[in-house]
Amino acid sequence: MSLLVVGSVALDTVRTPHGRIEEGLGGSATYFSVAAGMFRPVRLVAVVGEDFPGRHVRFLVSRGVDVRGLERAAGRTFRWTGEYTGDMNQAETLRTELNVFASFRPKIPDAYRKSRDVFLANIDPDLQAEVLDQMVNPRLVGCDTMNYWIESKRSAVKKLLRRVHFLLVNEAEARQLAGEENLIKAARALLRMGPGAVVVKRGEYGALLFRECSMCWVPAYPLECVRDPTGAGDSFAGGFMGYLSRCRAVGEREMRKALAFGSVLASFCVEGFSLRRLGRVRAEELHARYRTFRELTRF
């Protein structure tokens, strides 16, 4: 009974209308593992450089993240610089320094190969496939991708989709990958490519879950102040997969609840820069917000 994530661990420099952070802890696998870690310890597979601060590793361990798969390579850690101006749903990437991430070939430690559930955060689709090749019969496989891979490696992304149960993408990526403007038609096209369920994340407009014969929508949790949206999508995925990973059987009911937990964890993420808020969430707070969310959407 375990959940493994492969993705980026980064040092992010981010500016939003509410402030700025210089080289804060970030990365898709970081946000995912801290969010999913609210439900169960997560096994993290990623790479950092020699300059990665030890305090970030200690922080991850303090949130129950298993860091045996966090490789430390010679060189500098992956860095991402982004900015949000008027539209808080869309980051503008100012700079990407791949550094040690450029030659990352995920090696799954023997002790991790039988992990029951797997999340392939946004990395090269060929590497995502290599990760799956190293796993022994996972129960649930979720994956994310991004516009860069959809443009440059479309066939690898499509090939991967035949091997996953859940695809979690944002709205623009769903349209781009499906080649279809209408979101419902796009989701149907994505379902035909392989996954049993497609989750389309729509920032402040919530998220949609599409399956062959059902559809579900959850709003974003309403907040007075969104400080930094970085990592919201990965925190959403962490809440979604983390909750499902704790369920013995995974059906419509569990997926709907998972969608709500995704929304709630994303809401904590955006309340602070980097992991400042998400990294401090207590179990009672999570469940209290989940209950409020249920009340807000009941009619």
* Among 218, 211, 287, residue whose Cα is nearest residue 251: 211
- Looking at 48-56, 109-117, 228-236, 287-295, which segment touches ligand AMP (CB under 6 A)? 228-236
- Applying CB under 6 A, does 28 fall inside the site for ligand AMP? yes
* Among 158, 164, 169, residue whose Cα is nearest residue 209: 169
* Separation of alpha carbons 237 and 44, rounded Å: 14
Closest distance between ligand AMP and the C-beta of residue 212, in Å?
Answer: 27
- Applying CB under 6 A, does 278 fall inside the site for ligand AMP? no
- Applying CB under 6 A, does 12 fall inside the site for ligand AMP? yes
- Applying CB under 6 A, does 10 fall inside the site for ligand AMP? yes
Which residue in 8, 81, 89, 128 binds ligand AMP (CB under 6 A)? 8
Closest distance between ligand AMP and the C-beta of residue 288, in Å?
Answer: 24
Which residue in 3, 6, 27, 88 binds ligand AMP (CB under 6 A)? 27
Q: Which is nearer to ligand AMP, 143 or 250 (CB)?
A: 143
Question: Can you say whether residue 36 is alpha, beta or left, with left for phi > 0 and alpha for psi between -120 and 50 degrees?
Answer: alpha
- Applying CB under 6 A, does 230 fall inside the site for ligand AMP? yes
Closest distance between ligand AMP and the C-beta of residue 253, in Å?
Answer: 26
24 pairs with which residues across the strands?
12
Closest distance between ligand AMP and the C-beta of residue 124, in Å?
Answer: 9
Closest distance between ligand AMP and the C-beta of residue 84, in Å?
Answer: 10
- Looking at 22-30, 175-183, 216-224, 250-258, which segment touches ligand AMP (CB under 6 A)? 22-30
- Looking at 8-16, 189-197, 218-226, 285-293, which segment touches ligand AMP (CB under 6 A)? 8-16
- Applying CB under 6 A, does 242 fall inside the site for ligand AMP? no
- Applying CB under 6 A, does 66 fall inside the site for ligand AMP? no
* Among 290, 238, 298, 243, residue whose Cα is nearest residue 264: 290
- What residue is closest to ligand AMP based on CB? 26
Q: Which is nearer to ligand AMP, 80 or 166 (CB)?
A: 80
What is the distance of C-alpha 12 from the center of its chain? 16
- Looking at 6-14, 48-56, 126-134, 210-218, which segment touches ligand AMP (CB under 6 A)? 6-14
Which residue in 96, 156, 247, 257 binds ligand AMP (CB under 6 A)? 96
Q: Which residues bind ligand AMP (CB under 6 A)?
A: 8, 10, 12, 26-28, 80, 96, 122, 230-234
